[in-house]
Structure 1
Amino acid sequence: MDGNFGPAERILWPASVLAGVVMCGAIYEITRKISSRCFRGYHKLSHMQKVEWNNRGLSTFHALVGAAVSFYLVVISDLFNEDVHNGIIIDRKSWLSDAMFGVSIGYFLTDLVMILWYFPSLGGKEYLFHHGLSMYAIGLALLSGKAHMYILMVLFTEATTPFVNLRWYLDVAGQKTCNLYVYNGLALFVGWLVARIILFVYLFTHMYFHFDQAKSIFTLGFYSLLIVPSAVAVLNVFWFWKIFKGMVKTLSKRRKHSENGKTD
């Protein structure tokens, strides 16, 4: 792992982590100011609701940036294209993946501090586990320069976060009966199915067909590559079941309301 810590990394890594922390502070304040001016109900929220409202603003921003960078590196660029490069995929990385990992560590670190400070108002033990596991996996990939493709795939799953946050915003704003709440719930279900279930099936399948490369990683990295995505996958299935039940419950209520309206 020492060979990956060159002069460029000595500047890029700490700078990107710091950028992630600064980004969180900036987006938190921007969310607070925009919400206080553009959303009338913001001032009626409790202190804790305002904190969570602003916190979800920064998590949405990180999710969009992380998903966009991950999609670009894995799908659009030829960084992990086996037809273009001869080197093994498990060793491929770029300055952009390094920078994104650093920013993500800064975000997860900041968010973890907030969760602990207001615990359990911003999230329970599962969020502590998720953030801790995320920082461990991203940090290990950053320091070793290994398995960037797989970590980027996992990072792409943050693409579902904006739908989760919009659902919470609409709930707090008293808009659970509006069509947008239903459409967002359906989008969340489909997005979660694609980004957190099907994508993980592809990840494990890709890893299976490149298992010889995975075994070439140092021992801690190899077992982490097996355990961390598996643990995240279990969390994803658990949350997917809760999303599915919530969607069914919401659609059932709307169907009953519609039937009652027709009867009246």
Structure 2
Amino acid sequence: MFEIFLLNERQKWWRAAMDPFSQLILAISVASFFTFQWLFHSVSPWVSTRVSDGFLRLSHKQRIEWNSRTVSTFHALVVGLFCLYILLFDDAVNEDPVWGDPTLVKINVGITTGYLISDLLLIFYYWKAIGDKFFVIHHLAALYAYYYVLGQGMLPYFANFRLLAEFSTPCVNQRWFFEVLGYPKSSKPNIANGVMMAAIFFLVRIAVMPVYYSRMYFVYGTEAFYRVSWGGRSAWMLSSFCLDIMNIMWMHKIARGCYKVLRSGRQRKAVTQENGKTE
């Protein structure tokens, strides 16, 4: 029985691979991979040396992570904006979240697939500098879920909705940039970025949960739902639950950190004013 299932899956994959549009998505993924490699190895170091003097003072390991985070920020902005456009204007996907026309979603997921494979390669190659088991698991889980979107065109709305989370990435990376450049946690740029990071993280990862799960609830048990393979349903639902548990934990940590920074900033301001009055 299992062998028949594997054979059917291979036949579906082969038919999909022969489709001209699927070949285009494959080309986009490959182009994305090489683009992000180029950005990491050439563009980021060249731009960073001209934008920030602190880049030249970093250690070799720090420069590797700097370039990795720069590429991560670029990917997040490109994919996040594309994702937002689809969410607002792609009626086919919004009206049929399970089997709606996945054309634009596939293009966006293809870009992300190329980035994830590129980032995995860099993580393994520069393991001592940026190696992280969590990121490896995250990337592999994402690629597994995207297989069903790219290979079978299912669940385009939910796959696209998940990419909204990328909007929080630039602020998270900027926090690291400030830290490695020696900015005090109580400095105005750090405080502003911290508040923005907490607000955006909440909006794109926590506040959107009711919308996401309400759509999941309304399609559960429908004919469209049962047309999704068992593997597709598992990748969709289990990954959603696990990811959102982690999002809630991260939100708690971010909120606590933001509160501490704001409180220390107010205390420092109060001390400064008090010293000014004393003098």
Pairwise same-fold verdict (TM > 0.5): yes
Check if 1:22 corresponds to 2:30: no
Match of 2:69 in 1: 56
Check if 1:257 corresponds to 2:265: no
Measure, in 2, the Cα distance between the counterparts of 1:120 and 1:255: 38
Match of 1:178 in 2: 187
Match of 2:197 in 1: 188
TM-score by length of structure 2 reads 0.87
Match of 1:248 in 2: 259
Structure 2 unmatched runs, 5+? 1-8
After TM superposition, the structure 1 = structure 2 runs for residues 78-227 of structure 1, keeping only pairs within 5 Å, are 78-82=91-95, 88-119=96-127, 121-122=129-130, 124-176=132-184, 177-211=186-220, 212=222, 213-227=224-238
Give how far 1:186 is off. 0.8
Q: Describe the shift of the 1:214–1:113 C-alpha distance in structure 2 as closer, same or farther (beyond 3 A).
A: same
Measure, in 1, the Cα distance between the counterparts of 2:38 and 2:92: 31
Match of 2:55 in 1: 42
Measure, in 1, the Cα distance between the counterparts of 2:85 and 2:18: 25
Aligned residues with identical type, % of pairs: 26
- Aligned 8 A contact 1:20 1:107 in 2: yes
- Aligned 8 A contact 2:64 2:129 in 1: no
SS in 2 for 1:175: coil
Measure, in 1, the Cα distance between the counterparts of 2:252 and 2:264: 18
Match of 1:32 in 2: 45
- Aligned 8 A contact 1:160 1:192 in 2: yes
- Aligned 8 A contact 1:24 1:58 in 2: yes
Aligned Cα RMSD in Å? 1.8
Match of 1:85 in 2: none
Measure, in 2, the Cα distance between the counterparts of 1:112 and 1:195: 24
Measure, in 1, the Cα distance between the counterparts of 2:20 and 2:115: 22
Measure, in 2, the Cα distance between the counterparts of 1:165 and 1:51: 13
Task: Report the number of matched residues.
Answer: 259
Measure, in 2, the Cα distance between the counterparts of 1:155 and 1:257: 38
Give how far 1:10 is off. 4.1
TM-score by length of structure 1 reads 0.91
- Larger Rg, first or second structure (1 or 2): 2
